[in-house]
């Protein structure tokens, strides 16, 4: 019978090799009595959903500098938060971020609940985030399973059932390993192990603290795991955006509806996005429109997008059918989501601005 992995071995490794994160209280500080800030833990976990640590760090630092407490964030204007979030993607997270902050500020006196079940009741918090916040912020023995943890569990226990079917099994295995002592450090330790040692390609098995009990390593299958169900090819959708600049330099923009893709974000007026061909769509303002020779291209989770970009210069007295003009002082290109910024950059390069 194979030796079972021990949480103590992983924690000993974590005490020496924990990654430094702007939202993390390191193991030495934590054992010295420094407590994590639940607001910072929650904010980082929302930002890290489907996003890399490298991409999140600067956003986290800007957010916490501008809104250092959950009450500060709850009092923020929607447009300011959406603008700071621009480029991070998955914009429903930002809308739920505000909803959650306001509920915590109003109904919980600015204090996040400690327990998993209570955290699950908050907007934008699912099983993973509830587990992460309860474990990391409050040292509750909650099971935390992200992609890194799934990979570690699949290899340690040599699980060949493909994801996502294997998720319940891997979650149960992770739960059985979660200790009652230092569960917050343990949750971060497993994620660090997956991110730095048990990596998707070329895992460093020789220096892994769980190399001896790892069944995947013993059976020579570790690099094949976890197995995944093949994904369907992404379809391609097409659309048109209109970038109108007024003679005084103001830019025509509209804020997208709260629901749907890029909900609540600033963007260029334009058509729906559909497969097959560029849909017909009337321009948002009467003008002599020019088509740029290059498309704006972007890939979302479920599809590729190709946008035809049309530009025009309009007089001061021309009124738009949709949207509103923002002056140069009001408009920040950084407030645009990535796909809209790509279209803007193409238009700016063409005009020489």
Cα separations in angstroms, 244 against 88, 272, 282, 283, 313: 25, 18, 14, 10, 6
User: What does the pLDDT look like over 128-169, one tens digit per residue?
Assistant: 999 999 999 999 999 999 999 999 999 999 999 999 999 999
The helix/strand/coil state of 196 is helix
Q: How far apart are CA 54 and CA 19, in angstroms?
A: 12
H or E stretch including 58?
Answer: helix 53-66
User: What does the pLDDT look like over 29-70, one tens digit per residue?
Assistant: 998 989 999 999 999 999 998 888 999 999 999 999 999 999
In the predicted structure, residue 323 carries a pLDDT above the cut 60: yes
What per-residue confidence (pLDDT) applies to 2?
Answer: 64
Burial class (CB in 10 A: 0-12, 13-18, 19+), 173: buried
Residue 180 C-alpha from the chain's centroid:
29
Is the same domain home to 244 and 200?
A: no
Which of 224, 250, 268 delimits the end of a domain? 224
Active site residues: 45
Q: Is residue 2 part of a domain?
A: no
Total of domains in the chain:
2
Is the same domain home to 250 and 185?
A: no
The average pLDDT across 327-332 equals 89
What per-residue confidence (pLDDT) applies to 315?
Answer: 95
Q: How far apart are CA 24 and CA 248, in angstroms?
A: 47
Is the same domain home to 312 and 189?
A: no
Residue 332: count of CB within 10 angstroms of its CB: 12
**Closest Cα partner for 319 from 287, 282, 285?**
285
What per-residue confidence (pLDDT) applies to 278?
Answer: 77
CATH number of the domain that 98 lies in? 1.10.340.30
Is the same domain home to 188 and 73?
A: yes
What per-residue confidence (pLDDT) applies to 352?
Answer: 56
| pTM score above 0.85 | no
What per-residue confidence (pLDDT) applies to 351?
Answer: 64
In the predicted structure, residue 235 carries a pLDDT above the cut 60: yes
Q: How far apart are CA 300 and CA 89, in angstroms?
A: 9
Confidence of residue 353 (pLDDT cuts 50, 70, 90): low
Range of the domain at 108: 7-224
Per the DSSP assignment, residues forming a β-bridge with 290 are 311
Q: Is residue 265 part of a domain?
A: yes
Please, what is the average pLDDT of the chain?
93
The average pLDDT across 91-109 equals 94
Q: Is residue 29 reached through a cis peptide bond, with omega within 30 degrees of 0 on the bond before it?
A: no
In the predicted structure, residue 290 carries a pLDDT above the cut 90: yes
The average pLDDT across 107-125 equals 94
């Amino acid at each position: 019978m194979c030796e079972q992995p021990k949480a103590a071995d992983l924690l000993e490794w974590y005490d020496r090799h924990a990654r430094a994160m702007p939202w993390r209280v390191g193991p030495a500080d934590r054992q010295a009595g420094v407590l994590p800030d639940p607001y910072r833990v929650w904010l980082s976990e929302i930002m890290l959903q489907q996003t890399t640590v490298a991409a999140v760090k600067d956003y986290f630092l800007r957010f916490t500098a501008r809104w250092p407490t959950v009450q500060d964030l709850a009092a923020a204007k929607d447009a300011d938060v959406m603008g700071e979030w621009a480029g991070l993607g998955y914009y429903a997270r930002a809308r739920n971020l505000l909803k959650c902050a306001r509920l915590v500020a109003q109904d919980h006196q600015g204090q996040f609940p400690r327990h998993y079940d209570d955290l699950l009741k908050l907007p934008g918090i699912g099983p993973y985030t509830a587990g992460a916040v309860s474990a990391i912020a409050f040292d509750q023995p909650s099971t935390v399973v992200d992609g890194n943890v799934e990979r570690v569990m699949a290899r340690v226990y040599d699980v060949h059932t493909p994801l996502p079917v294997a998720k319940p099994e891997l979650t149960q295995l992770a739960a059985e390993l979660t200790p009652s002592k230092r569960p917050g450090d343990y949750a971060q330790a497993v994620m660090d192990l997956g991110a730095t040692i048990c990596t998707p390609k070329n895992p460093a098995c020789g220096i892994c603290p769980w190399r001896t009990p790892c069944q995947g390593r013993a059976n020579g299958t570790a690099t094949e795991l976890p197995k995944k169900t093949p994904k369907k090819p992404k379809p391609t959708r097409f659309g048109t955006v209109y970038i109108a600049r007024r003679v005084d330099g103001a830019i025509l923009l509209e804020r997208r509806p709260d629901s749907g893709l890029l909900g609540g974000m600033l963007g260029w007026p334009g058509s729906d996005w559909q497969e097959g061909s560029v849909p017909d769509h009337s321009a948002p303002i009467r003008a002599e429109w020019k088509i740029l020779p290059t498309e704006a291209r972007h890939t979302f989770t479920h599809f590729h997008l190709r946008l035809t970009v049309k530009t025009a210069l309009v007089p001061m007295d021309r009124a738009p059918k949709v949207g509103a003009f923002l002056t140069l002082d009001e408009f920040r290109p950084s407030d645009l989501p990535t796909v809209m910024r790509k279209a803007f950059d193409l238009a700016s390069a063409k005009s020489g601005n």
